[in-house]
Amino acid sequence: MSTLVFIALALVLAAGVLHGWIVRRGWVRLAMASATLRVVRGGQDGDGVIALAGARALLRQRVPSEADAGLVEARLARQRSPRGAGLAAHGLLLAARGDREGARVLLASVATLAPAVCPAAALRLSREWLIGDAAERGDWAALAAMATSMATSMSSEDVSARAALLLLLGQRLTGAEGAPDDATLARAQRRAYGLRRTPAALVVLLTRARLVEPGSAPASVSGDLPEPAAAPVPADDLVGEATHRHVTLLACKGAAPRLVGDAVRRAGRAWDVAREDGRLEATLESRGAQLGALPGAGSSAARTLVEQIAADIAEIAASGLDIEVPGELGPTARRGLHLLRERTLSEVEQAARALHRRAEARRPLAPLDEWREWLALERAYLGAMARVGGGAAGDEVRRVLWPEVASAGSSLACWLWNDRSLRAFAQAIFASLARQATLVHDERLAAIHAKNAALSPM
Amino acid sequence: MAGQRAAGVARVMENPFYVLGLRPQATRGEIEREGQKWLGMLELGLAAARRYVTPLGVGERTADKVRAALAELRDPERRVLAEVWARLQPVEGETAAEGEGEAAAGTDLSDASTSTSTSTSTSTSTSTSTSTSTSASTSTRANVGGLEGALKELGF
């Protein structure tokens, strides 16, 4: 008996000591086994913790093995009610399979779960993966935003020294307010690497970062408007100038919101000038007549052109828009943004109604898919504000969409809590609804959802 | 630029005048002749016929595109619209859509041999901006790419 106890103790001790090394070697089966011993020692969210260790080891493999991924997946499938560790494991599994966007969504959502259902290690791993991913993509603005959030809601122990260095780097590279000075960056570098050599590429970025004055510019600014590869337009060619501005706008797809806002304003203004007093319509009508078109063909082409311009403005602005002075927008830009607003409202309303109907009809999805569907709606709702340019327009969209989103979210969360035992997810939905209700000054729902969110999910 | 191609981008990139390599003032005869010329060259598999320039970058010319362009320009109403979108005269060179904001991406963290002084010179030589009047710090922000290997450094 004492021998068995000794062996058990030795195994647990070895698991503790060797676990990190096993994970780094990419040995999925062993990582899961050593995590099992750690769970036996008194951990919570057992299957999630074991799967998380496996997923982490899987990510260390040069080419992730599908057989090993299957092991992690099988462990995750045993979870009836996923919690933080399981969610993080799902996220890392997606990352190992190359679905970075999916991983980003799931791992970002880990932080929205209540601490009671989310082991600190799962939260830390999620944050660190998101930090590393943003650094690899060069999304320094996202890192700066994470650093700001960390300053208010996290302690420095919540991420490793290397991750903390990347957060500070993001702040400094974007010139954000409160960005670290040179001495703070140097201290963070020493903490992260000590006597080890700092990787050269990181040294390059640190050197660049020191060229940016802290607080020198808003994070949203990220360069100049792109120029079309075209010959200059004669000064008196108003349609040519408008086309030039429009092509510039088209080249801005996915650019920083402030840049897109600037391009929308300029293109809209150029079209306004070209269309002044019906000039453009008259030109097209006369050109149509020269080409042998039927009477009215030019006017019809002009209407199509106006629709195309509005559709382009709406499409490019949909990736995110920041208009410095909304009052400066002319009729063409406003028409495009109105189209975007209508599309945005329609998309979010349809998604909310579909979720509401499904929840009311009690048509279940797999636990993780329930969570994904909520995340998609929440993201669309929050993104709708940015899509229409934020500010007063964003607030108005928030108020218009809130009743639909609140109904869908409430139905889903109550169903998940009462009938599905998916309390970790339900509680996070209640907490999100409480925050959003507060923002639209819906005190009644804010109080109800805050009360629900305070219930113990255990 | 990231993401799916916008409809407006396709409208410019596949504008019949750009596909045929003509300006909007071209006559019907010129359009037909040019179309037949490109169809003949494509039939022979000539590499020079396979690319055309637009203000948003280089497109790939195919026989289908040439036939679609000819059909579009035979319809006066559609031609009027196409003329507006072909107003810009494309020039060869780096395009806005291809070049903007992507220059310095992909620095490899695993390369540990570069010195700090090399780094400084790299940081000032990668601007892709086409407009003027940006400060040194602004252009640094505009051109900083990603840090390849960051996840590995963090233990993933």
CB B64: neighbour CB atoms within 10 A? 9
Q: How many angstroms separate the most distant Cα atoms in chain B?
A: 66
Q: How far apart are CA B76 and CA A363, in angstroms?
A: 54
Q: How far apart are CA B128 and CA A139, in angstroms?
A: 18
Quick one: average pLDDT of B20-28? 95
Give the position of tokens 């792109």. A226
The two tokens of residue A412 are: 């889903």
Residue B57: strand pairing partners:
B54
Cβ–Cβ contact A212 with B under 8 A: yes
Helix (H, G, I), strand (E, B) or coil at B107: strand
pLDDT at B111: 39
The two tokens of residue B61 are: 């010319």
Q: How far apart are CA A56 and CA B152, in angstroms?
A: 11
Cβ–Cβ contact B3 with A under 8 A: yes
Q: Which residue has the higher pLDDT, A319 or A184?
A: A184
Q: Give the distance from residue B97's alpha carbon to the nearest chain A alpha carbon, in angstroms.
A: 5
The two tokens of residue B29 are: 């005869």
Helix (H, G, I), strand (E, B) or coil at B9: helix
CB A32: neighbour CB atoms within 10 A? 24
Residue of A nearest to B86 (CA): A243
Number of helices and strands (H, E) in chain B? 9, 4
Q: How far apart are CA A155 and CA A166, in angstroms?
A: 15
CA nearest to B38, candidates B11, B75, B64, B76: B64
Cβ–Cβ contact B63 with A under 8 A: no
Cβ–Cβ contact B21 with A under 8 A: no
| Mean pLDDT value across chain B | 73
pLDDT tens-digit readout, B100-120: 333 333 334 443 333 333 333
Residue B148: strand pairing partners:
B108
| Residues 79-98, chain A, touching B (beta carbon < 8 A) | 92, 95
Residue A119 reports pLDDT greater than 80: yes
Whether residues A201 and B105 touch (CB distance < 8 A) is answered with no
Q: Lowest-pLDDT range, A80-89, A202-211, A294-303, A325-334?
A: A325-334
pLDDT at A106: 96
Whether residues B12 and A247 touch (CB distance < 8 A) is answered with yes
Domain extent listing, chain A: 1-137, 141-222, 238-321, 346-453
Give the position of tokens 């093995």. A65
The two tokens of residue A209 are: 């970062």
**CB contacts, 8 Å: B96 with chain A:** 226-229, 247-248, 251
Residue B129 reports pLDDT greater than 70: no
Whether residues B148 and A136 touch (CB distance < 8 A) is answered with yes
**CB contacts, 8 Å: B116 with chain A:** 203, 207
Residue of B nearest to A297 (CA): B77
End-to-end CA distance of chain B: 28
Give the per-residue SS3 of chain A. Answer: CHHHHHHHHHHHHHHHHHHHHHHHHCCHHHHHHHHHHHHHCCCCCHHHHHHHHHHHHHHHCCCCCHHHHHHHHHHHHCCCCCCHHHHHHHHHHHHHCCCHHHHHHHHHHHCCCCHHHCCHHHHHHHHHHHHHHHHHHCCHHHHHHHHHHHHHHCCHHHCCHHHHHHHHHHHHHCCCCCCCCHHHHHHHHHHHHCCCCCCHHHHHHHHHHHHCCCCCCCCCCCCCCCCCCECCCCCCCHHHHHHHHHHHHHCCCCCCHHHHHHHHHHHHHHHHHHHHHHHHHHHHHHHHHHCCCCCCHHHHHHHHHHHHHHHHHHHHHCCCCCCCCHHHCCHHHHHHHHHHHHHHHHHHHHHHHHHHHHHHCCCCCCHHHHHHHHHHHHHHHHHHHHHCCCHHHHHHHHHHHHHHHHHHHHHHHHHHHHCCCCHHHHHHHHHHHHHHHHHCCCHHHHHHHHHHHCCCCC
Q: How far apart are CA A4 and CA A318, in angstroms?
A: 64
Q: Are strands B57-60 and B51-54 parallel, antiparallel or unpaired?
A: antiparallel
pLDDT tens-digit readout, A280-293: 899 999 999 999 98
Closest CB to A226 among B112, B130, B143: B130
Q: What is the pTM of this model?
A: 0.74
DSSP characters for B45-106? T-GGGGEEEETTEEEE--HHHHHHHHHHHHSHHHHHHHHHHT-S-B-SS--HHHHTT-TT--
pLDDT at A132: 94
Burial class (CB in 10 A: 0-12, 13-18, 19+), A188: buried
Cβ–Cβ contact A25 with B under 8 A: no
Residue B51: strand pairing partners:
B60
Quick one: average pLDDT of A145-161? 73
Whether residues A199 and B149 touch (CB distance < 8 A) is answered with yes
ipTM value for the complex: 0.70
Q: What are phi and psi of A257, to 5 degrees?
A: -55, -40
Integer CA distances (angstroms), B11 to A72, A109, A144, A275, in order: 46, 38, 37, 20
| Mean pLDDT value across chain A | 87
CA nearest to B12, candidates B52, B55, B49, B51: B55
Q: Give the distance from residue A155's alpha carbon to the nearest chain B alpha carbon, in angstroms.
A: 18
**Cβ–Cβ < 8 Å for B61, B50:** yes
Q: How far apart are CA A209 and CA A223, in angstroms?
A: 16
Q: What are phi and psi of B54, to 5 degrees?
A: -135, 170
pLDDT tens-digit readout, A2-41: 677 777 666 666 666 788 888 888 898 888 888 887 666 5
Q: How confident is the model at residue A413 (pLDDT cuts 50, 70, 90)?
A: very high
End-to-end CA distance of chain A: 35
pLDDT at B123: 35
pLDDT tens-digit readout, A39-65: 665 556 788 889 999 999 999 898 988
Residue A394 reports pLDDT greater than 90: no
Integer CA distances (angstroms), A327 to A60, A70, A88, A134, A385, in order: 52, 56, 44, 34, 18
**CB contacts, 8 Å: B2 with chain A:** 253-254
Residue of B nearest to A293 (CA): B76
Q: Is the dihedral of CA A45, A156, B156, A87 positive or negative?
A: positive
Residue A457 reports pLDDT greater than 90: no
CB A272: neighbour CB atoms within 10 A? 16
Q: How big is chain B by its Cα radius of gyration, in Å?
A: 22
